Amino acid sequence: MKLIQLANDRDFFYTDNEDEGIIETSPLVLDLLTWLSSFSVCKIRCLRYVATFAMYSFQDYLTELIVDLEDNYLSKLRKQLAMEQKKKRPNEKTLDKLETTVSEIQDGKTVIESNIDNIVKLCFVHRFKDVDDLIRAESMLHLAIWLENYPEYFFKVTFLKYFGWLLS
């Protein structure tokens, strides 16, 4: 978890591809996802459990981060942008700067959502039905955490069906 927080503080979550002008997932995160997803399907239970738990902890942090971005940055910047646009004589430099900042944060949010989706596809869909009951329990526990942290994304039929399958 500390590694993920440090990567976020140092802006290692995503990189700006200057050639194409897009923001994409950083090599660090791609390598983490690749290695952890490989270990999460390992036949050795202890490795599978640790890799799954690490992926879920990563996902916990990502869901908290994306909500923080939306609540503390994007919503405030959008309000500032709307207020500036309502003025009779809006300052063009301020408008451009606010629009650029909102766009950059929105692009970062898109990359984080992509990583959230990747973790669900790479790990969760396989581990919620694992033969080890501890891994199944961790899967459902973390799904509940993600649902609580980021209900806009996880409060959909595609995720709620896992709770239904658990109860049946």
Task: Give the chain's length.
Answer: 168
**155 has a pLDDT exceeding 80:** yes
DSSP secondary-structure letter at 11?
T
Which whole-number Å values give the CA distances from 5 to 61, 91, 97, 106, 157, in the listed order?
A: 8, 36, 27, 19, 30
Residue type, 28: L
Segment holding 58, helix H or strand E? helix 45-68
Q: How far apart are the first and last CA of the chain?
A: 33
Q: Is the distance from CB of 154 to CB of 143 less than 8 angstroms? A: yes
7 vs 132 pLDDT, higher one: 132
Q: What is the pLDDT of residues 134-153, one digit of tens each?
A: 999 999 999 999 999 999 99
The Cα 9–Cα 3 span in angstroms is: 10
